[in-house]
Amino acid sequence: MAKTLVIVESPAKAKTIKKYLGNGYEVFASKGHVKDLPKKQNAVDVQNDFAETYEVIEGKEKVLEELKSAAKRADEVLLATDPDREGEAIAFHISEEIKNPKLKVARVEFHEITKKGVDHGVHNPRKLDENLYDAQRARRVLDRIVGYDVSALVWSKLAFGLSAGRVQSVALRLIVDREREVEAFVPEEYWNIAVGLGAASPPQRAPFVAKLASADGKKLEVTNGEVAGKVRADLETARYKVAKVVRREQKRNPPAPYTTSKLQQDATNYLHFGAKRTMQIAQALYEGIDLKRDGGPVGLITYMRTDSTRVSDDAIAEVRGVVAKRYGKEFVPERPNVYKSKKNAQDAHEAIRPTSVEIHPDSIKKHLKDEQYKLYKLIWNRFVASQMTPAVYDRTTVEIDVAPTIAAPAYRSYLARATGRILRFAGWLQVTEGQQEFAGEDESAGGAAADGGAAAPAPEATAAEAERAAPGPSAEEDSEALLPDMKEGEALAVSPPGVITDQKFTQPPPRYNEGSLVRELEKRGIGRPSTYAEIISKVQQRAYVEKRDGGAFQPTLLGKFVVDGLVRSNLDIMDPNFTAQMEEELDAVGAGSLKREQLLKTFYKKFREQLDKSKKLAPWKPEAEKTDIVCDECGSMMLKKWGKNGWFLSCERYPKCKATRDLSDARGTAAVRETDISCDKCGKPMIIKTGRFGDFLSCTGYPACKNTRPVPLGVACPSCGGDLIEIRPRKKGGRTFYGCSNWNAEQKCEFKLWQKPVPVPCPKCSAKFVTRTAGKKAMLVCATKDCGFKQEIVEGEGEDGAADGTATPDAAAVVASAAPAPAARPAPAEPTPAARPAPAEPTPAGRPEAAPQGAGAAQGAAEKPARAVRARRTAS
């Protein structure tokens, strides 16, 4: 019988799809990319139309052999990788590896992992889209070129081991620019003035509060207590008369179903999930959850990387039926609600929605993890709400003439205004379960209410503007209640709480959190749905920003230095408008209207000119400062210097005297840092904490889950592919060494190094990493026997290698760009003192005393303290 091989990315997705396809199909998973650009300079041939040299990713050889073997047994291969540019690239690389003239190969897309979605994909195959692949190739080459060359620039101008990326550097600039606005902000005093009013004569009615709006026909702005006191005196004895009463109906239209950015924003604001975590949970919901029915897993949501608000006719028909059945026919609009996608939306996929609205979140709660249930419920509620009728309010606005009666009043006349509203018909709010504001509500068809009475402020509004617009708690401008019946010309009198004068101060613009940063990136056209989470992850991994309480981003001093240096270098890549234009050009490549080579040539020519000029600029680090502190070792004076781990003191007689002293935690490193690593016991994200033995990974589920792990050094074990960690022997005086994290796995790995591995490829033999030797002269040395590569670490370089995993310049590029000619080599690098770790909470009972050093291959060396990090384990 003919066999069809279906290749997907994820093993979980393979399991779900196999259930729907049956016996005539074999389903295998590629487990992501199988080929990539190697980490060496000649991976991209700039002179030959930017031709790439792809290599099989280390550790994927076995997966690729399984795919080739399965392809030999098949008559047809369906490449069903994710329906985006990355998925298209994976499909192309697999097709190249399994190429056979007799083998029929086609591309299929699964937009939802359901019986219907899988059948539709299988029965609608297409050819591989070369334009989409070219767009992915162009992005990959751009990121490689910029990452290698700009990182080398940062190394040479600031500190060894730092890195920079094409889009991430722009995002970092946004965070730094906002921080500068916060630092420069000067609060301004203002006063909200209101008065409690009631009927001047029987019958008595409930009092209400009116806010002062104008004086002598002009908008009233009170900026000091003296004027506020005079106005208060005017109001306490004034005559009040109703000038105008306006009653109207106000509608609040539902928001569109979720796009990727809007989901990330609401997940941040309401569920407190970071963008990366949100996408990981959504990926699991898309790939399939076992609901203990239908014989296996079922996909619960459609593809989660999209910028489209489009929804299929079938889905709209289904949701309208569910709304009528669950809430009533009055909640179903006469015609389906239609939402416009943004101008630059690719519109390749539907909006994010449940694959079946019949599957209510509460009906499957017991089969979902708590985080899955919360996110699925958010998606389900939003999609159902998007196809419901508007919420309807009765809104009443009353304008009141105020005539002072005292002699010599501050103003001759005032106008006060009170607005109240009451919800008459819940409409789509019936399904939102208390959620008040919704990402993108103002962008939906019709916006908010047609008369502009939106409940949620526009996203561009700063906190200062919102504070200015919103009155104090006792002088509300728009109360959620109807005002009492009043007639024009009716007299009113001051009633409790009387005249209210609230002193206020304008607030600085809020720092970005993950949700607002995604919103800003989307607004500016920087990045695409599949990149937002990665962008935010990178700026944190590199220790250029830290999270404050509440999740707001604050740049570290290191992050500011990097941004300031890159901006002074006049590189186009630091211009948000340029980056947005580049995204549009990549879209044009994907659409086939622009050639990949043309885009890259145009970019590279100008980029090289700017880079060459920037190399001639002065170093970016601040000059050393004299202090009155005496060196403990030689009695000379100490200098205040900056290294990538912060400020420190160094003896002015260096290198004859190498005494240093730490200057507190000037770098601002947080005691707790987020990572992309999931707990291998409960699946929750792990964070980096600092204990008495250094850094370690701790599960965010603590104390329910007490799992801890060493933090990987960012170097894969050459023996088994595990993570290398630093190991401190139990025995006192034992020698620290570096071993594999799989030392206690079933297949015990005994790999061991005595020198610290650095995630920088050897420029001589292309080994995946080099090691750092200790001693008077710190050296980078290749660990490969008979290679012989050695390179002294020169002034400005730190203890750790670079590496954010995606854009790391190789050692040869760094040495060439960072070090002067041998004859002019400066004195050996001054040792940077160990970064002082932040105080950590006591290690809970039962936790191993682990001291990890980085967060996997993606953990930038800049994030790691120069201090050696330990992982306790008995040395064999």
At 778 the three-state DSSP class reads: coil
Q: How long is the chain?
A: 876
696 sits in which H/E element: strand 694-699
End-to-end CA distance of the chain: 55
Using a CB cutoff of 8 Å and minimum separation of 24, what contacts does 631-636 make?
631/657, 631/659, 632/659, 632/661, 633/657, 633/659, 634/659
Cβ atoms 227, 410 nearer than 8 A: yes
DSSP bridge pairs for 218 = 215
Cβ atoms 652, 636 nearer than 8 A: yes
251 sits in which H/E element: strand 239-252
In angstroms, the CA 131 to CA 50 distance is 16
In angstroms, the CA 716 to CA 757 distance is 10
Peptide bond into 820 cis (omega under 30): no
Q: Which residues lie closer than 8 Å to 732 by C-beta, 6 or more apart? A: none
Q: Which residues lie closer than 8 Å to 842 by C-beta, 6 or more apart? A: none
Could you write out the DSSP letters of every residue in 268-301? IIII---HHHHHHHHHHHHH-EE-S-TTSEE--B
13-45 CB burial, b ≥16 within 10 A, e <16: bbbbbbbbbeeebbbbbbeebbbbbbbbbebbe
Cβ atoms 751, 743 nearer than 8 A: no
Catalytic residue list: 303
Name the token pair of 676. Answer: 């992309």
Q: Map 91-160 to HEC letters.
A: HHHHHHHCCCCCCEEEECCCCCCCHHHHHHHHCCCECCCHHHHHHHHHHHHHHHHHHHHHHHHHHHHCCC
Phi, psi of 852 (to 5 degrees): -75, 165
